[in-house]
Structure 1
Amino acid sequence: MFVSSYSLQTNYTVMRKLLAFVFILMMASACAVIRQGEVGVKSKFGKLSPDIEEAGLVGFNPFTTRVIKVPIRTVNQEVRLNLPSKEGLTIDSEISILYSIEKKRVPFILEDVGENYERVLILNVFRSAAADITAQYMAKDMHSGMRSEIENQIQERMHESLRERGFVVERVLMKSIRLPDELSRAIERKLKAEQEAQQMEYVLERERKEAERRRIEAEGTRAAQIILAEGLVREIIELRSIEAFRELANSPNTKIIITDGKTPYLINAQDK
């Protein structure tokens, strides 16, 4: 009798713990956590609610309802794609698509496109827009300063197709462009030739400037000589001679001066 009561008590305790565990599990499964940058939409028996659940804890009936979470922050979708060029080449590329979703349009997107909206809609629109735009450009343009122009045109084409559905295409970035090997080598040779031509032009310009400097310097020297020659008139020469006589006369050293009255010639005593 004692054993039987103990067994019943033990079974009752285990049952209580099991029921508590099941209750906690049901409560946990009846709640969903929506993070910042996300919204939730309840789907009851496959029918979407028009209301949007904001970030936080959301309760629902796990037997009839589920919560679909959709990010409304900026999403970075990276795509590897072979792009056509104007001359018919195939360009291996890696492109990032930065997009976001208008919060109020989330229920419509889920109803109209479904939860796989990125694969069904965004990527397909991107592939079509990218192929249409790059086919208008030469392969070398994708590897030059025209890359930003190509990115902007792809973004605009995608935005035109997706904005009415609630998608905002923020940027399209061509992260990596790999040209065919022969074309890459040809572009490198062209760039090298252009750099050498620019270097040669710099050298020639420097030589032209140096020649111009020398010409101006020679003209200045010649002009100075002409001015000096024009200034050596007879009166100035005689004046310089008088000044030379005066300096010699004031000198304490012994000297002999031979002159014709115009130009002195000095004979030092040491020369005798």
Structure 2
Amino acid sequence: MDSFFSLSKLFWFLARPDHLLVWMLLVGLFSLWAGWRRFGAVLLGCNLLLFLLFLLMPLGDALLMPLEKRFPQAEKTADVDGILVLGGGELAEESLFWGQPQLNQAAERLMIIPVLARQYPQAKIVFSGGSGSVLRPEFRGGDVASEYLDAVGLSDRVLIERHSRNTYENALNTIDSLEGVPKGRWLLVTSAFHMPRSIGVFRRQGWDLTPYPVDYRALSSDGARLDPGLWENLRDTETAMREWVGLVAYYLTNKTSQLFPAPLELKAPAN
């Protein structure tokens, strides 16, 4: 598992869209300097075209929409035995530095806990999130969640699992913390774009949870419309590409049950 974690981080450092633009620029300039003028010119031209596309168009929306629409929002019901929340919205290093919980764009994952705790007062709640960083593994999302939940008076209500480094470990460590796959209906709370891979991972472990997606990003499936904003468009494209690559990698390494998990079909009642 350690090799998979390290290799996945190395691959994404090289392949993420903003870094890819830098590599293309450097290789293109080097090619011109080395005398490979045609190759360098083509590479720099492609680099400029991609830069302009990211500057002007929300390409990430077209990639995010299929992920976010894969699982519908859960219907409200009183029959909930437990709630599992996956980390990802916590800024652990910033939280320690400033002495208060700091959250990123996925803050809805953590913010929804008080709402669900009030809506389902009898349900068990688990938060699973450690550190996905290779360089700073000591800063963990579970510690931020613990501080936040203590501030809103829920520290005694929520079990914190703080050792997971990725979605696969979320499943293994949570099941281990609960001493096996629990019975009953459990909600799985994570970002909408992350839900397909998460559901697939837990299904592989024999746990079929009810999706409760939050943190939607896409506004339209039309990535060809004009919406200038380099940083925002790059960010959303990176988020989507990381998730699509993660789906393929998890499927090829047998960590998820399907390449692109979907809602289970309801079986018709027997006559």
Superposition TM-score, scaled by structure 2 size: 0.21
Of Structure 1 and Structure 2, which has the larger fraction of its residues in helix?
1
Bigger RCO (CA 8 Å, 6+ sep): 2
Of the two, which has the highest radius of gyration?
Answer: 1
